[in-house]
């Protein structure tokens, strides 16, 4: 049976609990990820001839399970992993975590219990990955990425550098140009591979198979990357670990090892401001022809120059670097001038600050394209620094941000305060080769200036009213309902503060606008409906959401005031949180999974060491119980609501009675009354629980009897469409709030003139002075 991604993620994260305490997340991640790898390859390749991975006898996850409770469990688990590593040339890759380490896992029974519990979680709460095939086994690869993201978050600034946020990885994959790759010999490279996520995202974006190459100095992190690639069905990728890219680059020309190997594409997030890049440096001609060497104590340009040297004649790269490379002087200015003059830089994308786990400084993506470099006449600059959402103590790019950045860049679009194609003469002659984005794009928020004349004489400046012109274009009559001419250059609000919102909602043009938004959504539904009714085991969920996303973008393109990227965010957020899980389950088990339920248990260890399970509740696997009640048991739900109201009212009456008791009231009488009322509440609560239990039993007994048509009604219309529609309606509502809030703000700002305020102040001063004089104070 298929498993939800969210359920798998929860199980994996719960497995970490069994290791917390003895080590921090930067260490226990290696244990969890290694076990996940061993289970996956065992499920998928055990007994399979000529598979990507050989699972030898005595080297499988089943062999580990046989060790549960064994005194030498840690030692034997290490032997099993060693056999698997030896059979697949994975020494130093999957055997970095030592399961017999008493310092980390405890001694004797503590180690036995800890490892036995960990194996039991992997056995009981995770699926057989051999039968999970939707979207090319991405469930396990995505689970691996999920764990690395959480480990990076827990590890903090000093140890989270191994992971590049998935949203940033996807942008690099989209803007590097690999989606246009052709042929059967395309190569992809990352010289600071980390956990391999950049390589994976770029390879996924390619329409053809690509050969993957990566180098990572840290041996353990290189192991993470190797496992990550295997789990994403990229087992043939070459990841070299343990050596510095500058002292010992591992990929050289096969015909001349004094020359670096060159690749078609590169995606890289190198260490920022690397101070040790010159240690053991061998140049390989990487820095020739740029007029200077990179600074000895800052390797940002050293990495960029290595990447450029590692690209073929028409090669392309997307590289994440700190903003300083755009404007720092001295040697870096000389190198930057050379790069611009050669035409290597196709574009620069400014990212928000605090996205990365290793640093909080703002970064940018520099897109390198050697193809037609000599004909390039400018650089596309994108300032996406303001587009993000707070996520804990970090910032995070939203789905809409990823889509907007990649679409604007790939289509070379220009938007005010966001993107601009800057010609070389402006860069070279007017700005002396300085690429600092604010020099070319003013993305600052327009200052809200206040009018002295308005404060002195009253009235709202006409310029402020006209700043809402995008609304007046859509609702031309609304302006006349809210404002009237006061004097030259100033308007007056015609309604009270409390009437502004009602005036907007009652406007006929605003009502018609609601119909426009609704029509766009209904058209979206009509186009995608058949796709969602015909999901099968051939459906690729990631391809499906791409299609749905394009449809919603197209349909909201012409809807003014509602940003199509916001509509896109509504859909993609719901997909990531809920809908992708649902689609994945349907791909695995068919629409019959809609009738499945999940039973929840609590576990309690008994004195004899056994575990007692107790049912704590249940719900539909895809369809929440509440929707079943809504559709089939409205009468019963109303009875329960009425019973709950009776109980609530009785409790409120009791509380009020107790609150009003005084010392004069007879204690015995009060006590009897309280007991009487409590008995009544108890009796009504009993009735309520009986009604709830009866409804719960009805739901559970009849869940499997829902017919196909009712299943579709519940899933598509009452769950998926309703949730997305509520999100879209929220965008429409935000339009009215935006107008109303701004009108109220302007009215409050200028409703009292300065002379009126001074007059009020004088009155208050006179009152205070009079009051003080009556109290005998004289001054």
**What is d(CA 114, CA 542) in angstroms, rounded to the nearest whole number?**
37
Residue 407 confidence (pLDDT) above 80: yes
Q: Hey, what's the torsion of the CAs at 151, 156, 158, 159, to 10 degrees?
A: 0
Task: Look at residue 430 in the predicted model and tell me its pLDDT.
Answer: 96
Report the DSSP pairing between strands 311-322 and 363-369.
antiparallel
| Length in residues, the chain | 779
Q: What confidence tens digit (pLDDT) does each residue in 250-283 have?
A: 999 999 999 999 999 999 999 999 999 999 999 9
Task: Look at residue 319 in the predicted model and tell me its pLDDT.
Answer: 98
Task: Look at residue 158 in the predicted model and tell me its pLDDT.
Answer: 47
Q: Which residue has the higher pLDDT, 14 or 413?
A: 413
Task: Look at residue 21 in the predicted model and tell me its pLDDT.
Answer: 62
Task: Look at residue 20 in the predicted model and tell me its pLDDT.
Answer: 63
Radius of gyration of the chain from its Cα atoms, rounded to whole angstroms: 33
Task: Look at residue 127 in the predicted model and tell me its pLDDT.
Answer: 77
Task: Look at residue 777 in the predicted model and tell me its pLDDT.
Answer: 83
- Average pLDDT value for residue range 622-632: 94
Q: What confidence tens digit (pLDDT) does each residue in 492-545 have?
A: 999 988 898 899 989 999 999 999 999 999 999 999 999 999 999 899 998 999
Burial of 107 (0-12, 13-18, 19+ CB in 10 A): exposed
Residue 414 near residue 441, CB atoms below 8 Å: no
Task: Look at residue 155 in the predicted model and tell me its pLDDT.
Answer: 63
425 token code pair:
């003469």
223 token code pair:
């192991």
Task: Look at residue 28 in the predicted model and tell me its pLDDT.
Answer: 72
Task: Look at residue 56 in the predicted model and tell me its pLDDT.
Answer: 95
Q: What confidence tens digit (pLDDT) does each residue in 237-257 have?
A: 999 998 999 999 999 999 999
Longest CA pairwise span in the chain (Å) = 105
Q: What confidence tens digit (pLDDT) does each residue in 350-396 have?
A: 999 999 876 788 899 999 999 999 999 999 999 999 999 998 888 99
Task: Look at residue 162 in the predicted model and tell me its pLDDT.
Answer: 59
Q: What confidence tens digit (pLDDT) does each residue in 637-694 have?
A: 999 999 999 999 999 999 999 999 998 889 999 999 999 999 999 999 999 999 999 9
High-pLDDT (> 70) share of the chain, %:
95
Phi, psi (degrees; rounded to nearest 5) at 604: -135, 130
Task: Look at residue 609 in the predicted model and tell me its pLDDT.
Answer: 63
Q: Is the dihedral of CA 297, 367, 362, 448 positive or negative?
A: positive
- The DSSP result for 697-716, as a single string, is HHHHHHGGG--HHHHHIIII
Task: Look at residue 24 in the predicted model and tell me its pLDDT.
Answer: 62
**Going along 571-717, which residue ranges are E strands?**
597-605, 611-620
Residue 266 near residue 305, CB atoms below 8 Å: no
Other beta carbons less than 10 A from residue 377's beta carbon: 9
Residue 225 near residue 214, CB atoms below 8 Å: yes
229 token code pair:
């690639």
Q: What confidence tens digit (pLDDT) does each residue in 285-317 have?
A: 999 999 999 999 999 999 999 999 999 999 999
Instruction: Please give the distance of CA 496 from its chain centroid, rounded to a whole number.
Output: 42
Q: What confidence tens digit (pLDDT) does each residue in 5-61 have?
A: 777 777 777 777 666 665 665 677 788 889 989 998 999 899 988 888 899 999 999
269 token code pair:
């997030």
Average pLDDT, the chain: 91
Task: Look at residue 25 in the predicted model and tell me its pLDDT.
Answer: 59
Task: Look at residue 677 in the predicted model and tell me its pLDDT.
Answer: 95
Report the DSSP pairing between strands 483-487 and 490-493.
antiparallel
Residues linked to residue 348 through DSSP beta bridges, in sequence order: 366, 381
Strand, coil or helix: 728: helix
Phi, psi (degrees; rounded to nearest 5) at 517: -65, -45
User: In 217-330, where does DSSP find H-type helix?
Assistant: 219-231, 300-309
Task: Look at residue 135 in the predicted model and tell me its pLDDT.
Answer: 47
Task: Look at residue 650 in the predicted model and tell me its pLDDT.
Answer: 96
Q: Which residue has the higher pLDDT, 173 or 603?
A: 173
551 token code pair:
């449809």
pLDDT band at residue 161 using 50, 70 and 90 as cut-offs: low
Burial of 64 (0-12, 13-18, 19+ CB in 10 A): buried
Q: Please tell me the pTM assigned to this model.
A: 0.85
- Average pLDDT value for residue range 197-220: 94
408 token code pair:
């604007």
Phi, psi (degrees; rounded to nearest 5) at 310: -90, 5
Q: What confidence tens digit (pLDDT) does each residue in 88-131 have?
A: 989 888 998 899 999 888 899 999 998 998 898 888 877 787 76
Task: Look at residue 233 in the predicted model and tell me its pLDDT.
Answer: 85
Q: Tell me which DSSP letter residue 577 carries.
A: I
Residue 55 near residue 186, CB atoms below 8 Å: no
**What is d(CA 244, CA 95) in angstroms, rounded to the nearest whole number?**
21
Strand, coil or helix: 201: helix
Task: Look at residue 146 in the predicted model and tell me its pLDDT.
Answer: 78
């Amino acid at each position: 049976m298929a498993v939800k991604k969210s359920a798998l993620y929860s199980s994996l994260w719960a497995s970490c609990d069994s290791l917390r305490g003895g080590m921090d997340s930067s260490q226990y991640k290696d244990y969890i990820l290694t076990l996940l790898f061993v289970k996956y390859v065992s499920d998928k390749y055990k007994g399979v001839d000529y598979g990507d991975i050989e699972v030898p006898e005595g080297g499988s996850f089943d062999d580990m399970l046989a060790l549960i409770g064994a005194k030498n469990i840690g030692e034997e688990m290490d032997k099993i992993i060693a056999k698997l590593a030896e059979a697949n040339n994975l020494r130093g890759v999957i055997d970095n975590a030592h399961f017999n380490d008493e310092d980390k896992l405890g001694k004797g029974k503590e180690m036995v219990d800890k490892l036995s519990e960990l194996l039991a979680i992997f056995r009981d709460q995770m699926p057989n990955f051999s039968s999970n095939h939707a979207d090319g086994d991405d469930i396990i690869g995505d689970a691996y990425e999920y764990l690395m993201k959480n480990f990076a978050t827990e590890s903090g600034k000093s140890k989270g550098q191994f992971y590049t946020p998935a949203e940033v990885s996807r942008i690099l994959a989209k803007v590097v140009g690999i989606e246009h790759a052709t042929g059967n010999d395309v190569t992809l490279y990352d010289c600071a591979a980390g956990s391999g996520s950049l390589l994976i995202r770029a390879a996924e974006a390619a329409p053809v198979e690509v050969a993957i190459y990566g180098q990572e100095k840290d041996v353990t992190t290189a192991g993470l990357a190797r496992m990550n690639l295997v789990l994403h069905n990229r087992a043939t990728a070459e990841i070299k670990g343990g050596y510095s890219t500058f002292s010992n680059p591992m990929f050289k020309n096969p015909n001349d090892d004094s020359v670096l190997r060159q690749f078609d594409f590169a995606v890289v997030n190198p260490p920022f401001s690397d101070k040790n890049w010159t240690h053991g440096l061998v140049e390989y001609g990487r820095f020739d022809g740029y007029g200077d060497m990179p600074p000895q104590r800052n390797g940002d340009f050293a990495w960029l120059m290595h990447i450029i040297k590692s690209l073929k004649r028409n090669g392309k790269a997307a590289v994440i670097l700190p903003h300083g490379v755009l404007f720092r002087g001295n040697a870096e200015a000389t190198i930057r001038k050379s790069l611009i003059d050669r035409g290597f830089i196709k574009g620069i994308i400014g990212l928000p600050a605090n996205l990365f786990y290793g640093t909080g400084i703002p970064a940018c993506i520099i897109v390198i394209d050697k193809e037609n470099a000599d004909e390039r006449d400018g650089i596309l600059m994108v300032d996406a620094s303001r587009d993000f959402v707070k996520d804990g103590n970090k910032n995070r790019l939203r789905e809409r941000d990823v889509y907007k950045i990649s679409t604007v860049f790939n289509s070379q679009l220009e938007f005010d305060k966001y993107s601009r194609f800057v010609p070389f003469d402006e860069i070279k002659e007017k700005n002396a080769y300085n690429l600092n984005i604010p020099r070319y794009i003013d993305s600052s928020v327009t200052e809200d200036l206040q009018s002295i004349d308005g404060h002195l004489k009253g009235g709202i400046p006409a310029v402020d009213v006209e700043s809402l012109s995008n609304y007046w274009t859509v609702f031309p009559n609304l302006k006349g309902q809210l404002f009237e001419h006061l004097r030259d250059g100033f308007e007056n609000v015609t309604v009270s503060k409390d009437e502004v919102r009602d005036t907007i909602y009652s406007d006929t043009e605003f009502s018609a606008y609601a119909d426009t938004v609704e029509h766009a959504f209904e058209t979206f539904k009509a186009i995608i409906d058949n796709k969602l009714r015909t999901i099968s085991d051939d459906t690729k969920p990631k391809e499906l959401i791409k299609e749905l996303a394009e449809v919603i973008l197209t349909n909201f393109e012409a809807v003014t005031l509602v940003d199509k990227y916001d509509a896109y965010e509504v859909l993609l957020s719901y997909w990531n949180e809920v809908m992708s899980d649902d689609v994945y389950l349907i791909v695995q088990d068919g629409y019959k999974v809609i009738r499945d339920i999940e039973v929840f248990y609590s576990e309690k260890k008994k004195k004899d060491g056994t575990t007692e399970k107790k049912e704590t509740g249940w719900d539909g696997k895809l369809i929440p119980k509440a929707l079943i009640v809504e559709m089939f048991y409205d009468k019963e739900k109303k009875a329960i609501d009425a019973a709950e109201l009776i109980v609530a009212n009785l409790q409120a009456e009791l509380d009020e009675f107790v609150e009003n008791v005084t010392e004069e009231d007879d204690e015995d009488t009060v006590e009897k009354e309280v007991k009487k009322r409590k008995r009544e509440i108890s009796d009504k609560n009993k009735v309520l629980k009986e009604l709830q239990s009866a409804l719960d039993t009805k739901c559970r007994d009849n869940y499997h009897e829902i017919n196909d048509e009712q299943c579709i009604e519940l899933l598509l219309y009452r769950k998926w469409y309703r949730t997305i529609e509520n999100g879209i309606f929220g965008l429409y509502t935000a339009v009215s709030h935006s107008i109303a809030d701004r009108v109220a703000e302007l009215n409050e700002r200028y409703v009292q003139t300065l002379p009126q305020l001074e007059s009020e102040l004088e009155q208050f001063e006179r009152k205070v002075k009079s009051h003080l004089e009556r109290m005998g104070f004289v001054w």
